[in-house]
Structure 1
């Protein structure tokens, strides 16, 4: 009887957290629409970080740098630690800067490989300027409405006096207990140091939530 009580209590906590997650995701999408943002990924990542720490989630990570591969299990201790894990994905937020917004073509279409819809932001070249936004493309795959996101893909580039780098960023989501939850992510790319060698890397991480 004591064990059953603990399970029921945990289920109630998960359901409450799930309701909060669903409400917050819906609210952040509405906020993006009313504030003129292209996509409010900052809010999405913060909501996911809060849920994952409440769910006692952990990460199984495989990192490859050149020929060096490392595997690790990471358990972020709080929402701030989770946000640090996902920090590179906040680079996508630059699409919302007023200077950058006008350099994107926005399209909606059906994904030919799934039953998902896609909202895509793709850089459009302006022959009158050499300016190029750092996010080259952003694609949000969703089921039914934008609140039911299933995958986010982005291509990001940066260049300064020391190096030039490019990144492929992917976030995967699934419906877990009737709520949208981050289940894995991928970061890949390379960096070219001026007067130096190029370095390629990948980071693949899977989220584990205990039952």
Structure 2
């Protein structure tokens, strides 16, 4: 079964996007894990030149990403952009190659009727530049996330949203190549939940 690694753009202990991430991982058919990106130093090429030993948290991130068969990025949106902590993590992966050709999905969630569309688009563009394989059928923008989450359980409880997350995770798993190099299931998927503008939690 494919192994999925998730990166969260929110460091809050009890965030709505954290609830989305946990719910999505529980719907993925295969082993899952999350990467700790909060301890990463600010990206500095001087710390990562030829022959240099990368800082410990950077090496750990690269090892985790390299061992995964697919990646999931779940993130809020701030000021119509990607949270700095997540962009910093991706900066550390740009030149090291662990994302090359790897299936990846982006999910953004917002309290507004927009789903974090700016951050979602920016993350997809960055991942394409890194030559990751963005699985469009597995990407989602979830608007009005507040009432769709149970804060006590820290999970999504809205049935339509859970069903759509299940579809997204199924499509992401299906994009992982078989040993012969072909995708598990190249068939197209259902569309995403969409919104229009905003900032998220």
TM-score in terms of structure 1 length: 0.28
Computing the radius of gyration from Cα coordinates, the structure with the larger value is 1
TM-score in terms of structure 2 length: 0.29
